[in-house]
Structure 1
Amino acid sequence: MKRISQILCAAVLLLSGVSCKKYLDLAPNNTGTLEYAFRNRNEAENYLFTCYATLQQFAEATTNPSFTTSGEIIYPDNLTKHPIDETGFDMIRGSQNSAQPGLNYWDGERSGKAIFRSIRRCNTMLENIDKPIDLSFAEKKRWIAEVKFLKAYYHFYLARMYGPIPLIKNNLAITASTEEIKVKRSPVDSTFNYIVSLLDEAIPDLPPVINNQAQELGRITQTIALSVKAEVLTTAASPLFNGNPDYISVQNKDGEKLFPGTYDPAKWERAAAACKVAIDICEANGLRLYSFIAPATITSLPDSLKKVLTLQNAVTEKWELNPELIWALNPTFQWQGYSTPRLTQKGVVNIFSNPSTFAVPLAIQELFYSDKGVPINEDKTFDYAGRYSIKTGDENSRFYIAKNYSTVKEHFNREPRFYASLGFDGGIWFGNGKTNLTDMYHVEARGIESFAGPKDINTLNITGIWPKKLVHYQSVYDDGFQEIGYRLPLIRLAGLYLLYAEALNEVHGPTAEAYTYIDKVRTRAGLPGVVEAWTNYSKTPDRVNTKDGLRQIIHQERRLELMFEGTSGWDLRRWKELQNVLSQPMQGWNLYETQPANYYQPRTLFSAIFGVRNYLWPIKDRDLIINDNLVQNPYW
């Protein structure tokens, strides 16, 4: 009998340079042979879930390339203890290299996520699916479709990181020659076309939705697969991969070009069509934008706080209760305590469950719109020049900012997503065990030289701003500890609407349909329509009427709506905008000061290091030596 590791090891060895010992766990526990792994339905189902295994590992936010390298959240680099994997957060400080790449998903060394190994598991499943004689035809079709989706998504994950990749369409035989094993990279267009072909094969045999949520929530559906197809085609159409002049000269050693030399507008047409199909099936199956419904324990809730909770819970609501959530991964988000300020002195004792170390740079705070729905630096009614002056919370702002608390002026008159997404000095923190409108927590972040009092307990957040959106309002970090688990979304309907608007604008420029899908998201966020807002309040009112101008608006809208969800990092890469975003210094407030006038002075923490070469990950140098048919990514 041939062991599974024998079949796969030869194909892996020269591709990645990793010892075969790392690939001996390809089958489920106690499953040593193909015959055993597929001897009946139950064993084959175990193998199916093994194909899902790496997918579930992607739920780990601190090793998510998009979550950690977008510049939305930064992490201190001077802690004496290191409770998390800081590799991803350190990369924007300049730690990336080709000798030992950070978040190395190519061969899995150091990252622990060997995606090529997972692709080979999928191939093994597809090659042996006919063996279990007690597997029904209907289940077989569904399982094949699920595995083809997983195979496509694993290729897509690699393509977003590395661009052109080897396409592992079939596992190589143990008798394969040395040259057959030395797999070269396929052109980026071929890569995306292959991913889409796998999705197209999978979609017809997937269920539209999961009916038995108690047993099957998290398994792949048509709505998920069609939404991923929309993301794949939008990525392929975007500037990073569609006629990028930085990559024109990149080729395999045999002279084969790996990137298209010219821009192809038809790619956006395919993307727009895919987005619309995905939206239609989502809506046909009952998906809609989330709206908060207060539990019986909350007897009074003003519209302003209801809007905040709607926007916050669109992310933190349980999947089975959230009609907006298209896809998430089953492991729950483990970092709520890192995203929560220490709101009371008692909370200090929860230093392990409430580290408070996820910090939001000042540039992200200033990215959010004013309450008029336009950027604060172009709002005719917003005092942008005086935004750092001091203002005291009053009756009108009491559900956003603590009454009679002195804070900075730019915290006032901001859009609801600002208050739903950010915890800041003086900001109301509804929840954490308090839902009485006359007794709500607010953040006090000034002065951190000791733990002497409530104003001195936020010592580990290096900017004074927290990603509030990542915390369920019912989670409690005080002298008690109660964390309400949720799954961080991969795809929400709001994101799909904006993706469609983006593709429509690239195809046709500003149209009524593009505005409609932008405004679906803006209306839920409590903002005027995009045309109304720019016409009435912007210093640049014509921006909404041009293709380039609307593109900028849509990009900012996606960043704001999907903030902290692990999406913006991929978006900023495919748009080729991450270099510009990270060119701004990473700043926070002057944390050691207690007086508002001194505290609200921007303090530069570090300057990010990101160049053209950083848009794609380097392949490890050793892998290039082992497989001399591989070529390195540009500029590494």
Structure 2
Amino acid sequence: MKKRILYSMIGLLALTSCDKYLDVVPEDDIRTLESVFEKKQSAMSYFYGCYKYYLNSGSMFRDPGVAAGDEMTTGQLLRNSTLSGGVTIPAFDIATGSLSASNPIMGTWGASQNYYEAIRQCNDFIENVDNVYNMTQEEKSEYKASAKAIKALYYFELMKMYGPITLVPENIDVEASMEEMQLPRSPIDTCVNTIVQLFDEAIELGIQTFAEQPMYEAGLLNRESVYAYKAKVLLWAASPLFNGNPWYSNFTNRDGEQLFSADYDPKKWERAAIAADEAVAFCEQRGKSLYDGYNAEGSELVNRVRDIQLSVMPIAFGSDELLHGTYSLVEADIMTRLPRFSSVDETLETSASYNIGLVSPTMTMVELFYTENGLPIDEDKNWDFSGRYEIGSESDFRYNNIVALNKDVLKLHLRREPRFYANIGFDGGVWKRKDEYMVMEPYRGGRNGFEELVVKPTDRLNITGYWVKKHVHSSNYTDRSTTAIKPVAPFPKMRLAEVYLMQAEAWNEFEGPSEKVYEALNVIRKRAGVPDIQEAWEVYAKNPAKIENQEALRDIIRQERMIELCFEGQRYWDLKRWKIAHEYLSQPVKGWNVLGEKGAQFYNQFNGPVEVWTSNRFSSPRDYFWPIEDEEVLRANVVQNPGW
């Protein structure tokens, strides 16, 4: 009999509830592994517990990728627990350079959220599920496949955060010697191959497809998502951070084993490209496609905006685009995005809670989106880039319920692509609140603006004058007596749009510009409501030859990715894997003068945006990887990441 005792903090997935994903078994339920894996009910409880560690993904309060970068910002209140009464967003501390080996904020290696505990539980299930007497062989195979897949995903998340990790192919007996327990970190190529092998084994064992999963298991990995994650792992392996990176040429284990290859290997891009092709082919064969076809609005443009918004809000997992999602957004995620409506509206007033858009997009993101012609704002010869901070107006009825017609609107906000209007709330833009189309007024005295002349540290304040629309449904609103935050959709951890973007990036890096690169991008652009890439650049661009140059097309593909996946916790990690995070993440955050009144005061006399936050710090190359917690370095006898 095994001597290891299991203190069973195990959960059952409650996928029909947005705010209660796990029903936790009491702490005093102590069982041996043999008894757990006697019957199906207890074995399945143990299996579902393998997933509970991943359920924090997506919430800005729990997922560092969502708020640690340069997409969103906030003022003092949500950064200071003393001021806020304990409600803070830790990722904003990461953005200010507050990580340390003694305080690895939101870490997952030996920290408060320890993915190695999850991996141990996965190993337990994989090693013991065959002992369950009342499960069919098919069930054992399917759930063993799922356990391998989520184990691989934990490995990948650790790799993104820490680089080379410790691999645990099977659990070590608790009676083993300390030396046997102290496993070294594995070279990054070994980590990648192990993750890919686990995903391949999950496919071979018959992990269920999306359609085969029962609804109460919709948050589990499926075959479509496994193909997609496999491609993503290989994309990371081919990217500059991991592929021949000279920064880490002297990074070794304690025995001198080199953890990074010093040689760049272009074939890694081919491997990633082929895996992305396989993922697209399988997903399309299984009926997956980009969300499209909304037609309940009164104009083609507004319907296009709704398509884009609903592509990331698959209520109850009901979207052909979603490959993997988690019920991870908490109420505060929605409340911090909702704009403030003040008492200038007869039926609306300021709520006392946190639902007044305390978290806002940065000017970096506002200027990232394309023009209506599908080009960067400085590249479109028909768009007034030099005059973007001047006042203009819109009279075309196509933009009704998008921007205020025949009113003063900043030129920066006019004639932008549908994804801009789907994702960004701005002065003069329209926010759909229930069945109302509300024109936004973020300046002092406006319906969404701050009303005081001086800001106190405890004031609830949107500091850029913009709001994040992504993940917010029109049924999410506040009024005199109600804060409506449901439905809260699953957070999209993997959707088909990302797989097309992986295709385009990998093939361009391996072969350069080609029709298959353009075709992958054009699938995304068609749903986005902008011209195909060839038409956009040939007809409207100042420099049409850019799409024929590999390096220039690389920048175009990256911008397309950052637009399509904005506010989904992707950009922060992408900037790192591309080795350009240090160019972006120490820049001052810019927005508008939210203490200014309408017009010139708010828009800084039309001289351009102002700095609203200047404390972001990113130290290169140290901050490309998290520090392993000091105690874990000593306990496990692993080498620390460089710079920590």
TM-score by length of 2: 0.90
Match of 2:219 in 1: 218
Once the two structures are overlaid, the 10-residue window that deviates more, 477-486 or 267-276, is: 477-486
Match of 1:248 in 2: 249
* 1:31–1:37 contact (8 Å) kept in structure 2: no
Once the two structures are overlaid, the 10-residue window that deviates more, 613-622 or 502-511, is: 613-622
Match of 2:37 in 1: 38
Mapped to 2, the partners of 1:287 and 1:83 lie a distance apart of 42
Once the two structures are overlaid, the 10-residue window that deviates more, 473-482 or 308-317, is: 473-482
Deviations along 1:90-124, one digit per CA (max 9) or x if unpaired, are 21112112221111211123xxx210000001111
Match of 1:66 in 2: 65
2:617 matches 1:605: no
Mapped to 2, the partners of 1:557 and 1:83 lie a distance apart of 37
Q: Partner of 2:164: helix, strand, or coil?
A: coil
Match of 1:572 in 2: 575
The alpha carbon displacement at 1:254 in A equals 0.8
Match of 2:440 in 1: 443
Deviations along 1:391-441, one digit per CA (max 9) or x if unpaired, are 2343444332113432311111111111001001111112x1125xxxx21
Match of 2:51 in 1: 52
Mapped to 2, the partners of 1:495 and 1:6 lie a distance apart of 39
Once the two structures are overlaid, the 10-residue window that deviates more, 62-71 or 302-311, is: 62-71
Q: Partner of 2:280: helix, strand, or coil?
A: helix
Mapped to 2, the partners of 1:76 and 1:221 lie a distance apart of 39
Output the amino acid matched with 1:390. I
Match of 1:340 in 2: 338
Mapped to 2, the partners of 1:304 and 1:267 lie a distance apart of 40
2:499 matches 1:501: no
2:98 matches 1:91: no
Deviations along 1:233-290, one digit per CA (max 9) or x if unpaired, are 1111111101111111111111100011111111111111111111111111111110
2:130 matches 1:130: yes
The alpha carbon displacement at 1:594 in A equals 0.6
Distance 1:409 1:185, change over 3 A: same
The alpha carbon displacement at 1:62 in A equals 2.1
The alpha carbon displacement at 1:3 in A equals 5.8
Mapped to 1, the partners of 2:26 and 2:131 lie a distance apart of 16
Mapped to 2, the partners of 1:26 and 1:230 lie a distance apart of 36
* 1:26–1:121 contact (8 Å) kept in structure 2: no
Mapped to 1, the partners of 2:130 and 2:55 lie a distance apart of 26
Map 1:128-277; keep pairs closer than 5 Å: 128-204=128-204, 205-211=206-212, 213-277=214-278
Mapped to 2, the partners of 1:454 and 1:147 lie a distance apart of 47
Mapped to 1, the partners of 2:495 and 2:85 lie a distance apart of 32
The alpha carbon displacement at 1:552 in A equals 0.5
* 1:4–1:27 contact (8 Å) kept in structure 2: no
* 2:394–2:407 contact (8 Å) kept in structure 1: yes
Q: In angstroms, what is the RMSD of aligned CA positions?
A: 2.2
The alpha carbon displacement at 1:563 in A equals 0.6
Mapped to 2, the partners of 1:139 and 1:595 lie a distance apart of 63
* 1:372–1:537 contact (8 Å) kept in structure 2: yes
Q: How many residues align?
A: 604
Percent of aligned pairs sharing the same letter: 35
Mapped to 1, the partners of 2:183 and 2:106 lie a distance apart of 22
Match of 1:584 in 2: 587
Match of 1:20 in 2: none
Distance 1:29 1:409, change over 3 A: farther
1:635 is matched with which residue: 613, 631, 643?
Answer: 643
Mapped to 2, the partners of 1:27 and 1:257 lie a distance apart of 45
Provide structure 1 residue ranges, at least 5 long, that are not aligned to the other structure: 9-24
Match of 1:400 in 2: 402
Output the amino acid matched with 2:561. R
Distance 1:193 1:289, change over 3 A: same
The alpha carbon displacement at 1:70 in A equals 2.3
Distance 1:26 1:433, change over 3 A: closer
Q: Partner of 2:361: helix, strand, or coil?
A: coil
Output the amino acid matched with 1:611. S
Output the amino acid matched with 1:280. A
Mapped to 2, the partners of 1:342 and 1:26 lie a distance apart of 40
* 1:3–1:32 contact (8 Å) kept in structure 2: no
Map 1:547-566; keep pairs closer than 5 Å: 547-566=550-569
Output the amino acid matched with 2:642. P
1:620 is matched with which residue: 626, 629, 641?
Answer: 629
Once the two structures are overlaid, the 10-residue window that deviates more, 154-163 or 53-62, is: 53-62
Q: Partner of 2:309: helix, strand, or coil?
A: helix
* 1:434–1:441 contact (8 Å) kept in structure 2: no
Distance 1:329 1:463, change over 3 A: same
The alpha carbon displacement at 1:175 in A equals 2.3
Mapped to 1, the partners of 2:27 and 2:507 lie a distance apart of 45
Mapped to 2, the partners of 1:347 and 1:164 lie a distance apart of 53
Q: Partner of 2:590: helix, strand, or coil?
A: strand
Match of 2:15 in 1: none
* 2:513–2:548 contact (8 Å) kept in structure 1: yes
The alpha carbon displacement at 1:133 in A equals 1.0
Please identify which structure carries the higher helix content: 1
Output the amino acid matched with 1:178. M
Once the two structures are overlaid, the 10-residue window that deviates more, 593-602 or 191-200, is: 593-602
Distance 1:445 1:144, change over 3 A: same
Map 1:188-587; keep pairs closer than 5 Å: 188-204=188-204, 205-211=206-212, 213-294=214-295, 298=296, 300-332=297-329, 334=331, 335-345=333-343, 347-352=348-353, 354-396=355-397, 397-430=399-432, 432-435=433-436, 440-447=437-444, 455-456=449-450, 459-479=460-480, 480-482=482-484, 483-587=486-590
Distance 1:494 1:275, change over 3 A: same
Once the two structures are overlaid, the 10-residue window that deviates more, 319-328 or 43-52, is: 319-328
Distance 1:453 1:533, change over 3 A: closer
The alpha carbon displacement at 1:549 in A equals 0.9
Once the two structures are overlaid, the 10-residue window that deviates more, 547-556 or 596-605, is: 596-605
Output the amino acid matched with 1:412. L
Mapped to 2, the partners of 1:330 and 1:410 lie a distance apart of 35
* 1:505–1:514 contact (8 Å) kept in structure 2: yes
Mapped to 2, the partners of 1:409 and 1:150 lie a distance apart of 47
The alpha carbon displacement at 1:627 in A equals 3.2
Deviations along 1:131-157, one digit per CA (max 9) or x if unpaired, are 211111110001110111111111111
Distance 1:332 1:418, change over 3 A: same
Q: Partner of 1:592: helix, strand, or coil?
A: coil
Mapped to 1, the partners of 2:601 and 2:165 lie a distance apart of 52
The alpha carbon displacement at 1:333 in A equals 5.2
Provide structure 2 residue ranges, at least 5 long, that are not aligned to the other structure: 9-23, 452-458
Q: Partner of 1:326: helix, strand, or coil?
A: strand
* 2:394–2:404 contact (8 Å) kept in structure 1: yes
Mapped to 1, the partners of 2:400 and 2:136 lie a distance apart of 61
Output the amino acid matched with 1:282. C
Q: Partner of 2:360: helix, strand, or coil?
A: coil
The alpha carbon displacement at 1:213 in A equals 3.8
Q: Partner of 1:523: helix, strand, or coil?
A: helix
Deviations along 1:496-545, one digit per CA (max 9) or x if unpaired, are 10111111101110000110110111111111111221222222222110
* 1:344–1:478 contact (8 Å) kept in structure 2: no
The alpha carbon displacement at 1:342 in A equals 1.6
Mapped to 2, the partners of 1:260 and 1:592 lie a distance apart of 52
Match of 1:16 in 2: none
Distance 1:554 1:333, change over 3 A: farther
Match of 1:119 in 2: 119
TM-score by length of 1: 0.91
Match of 1:17 in 2: none
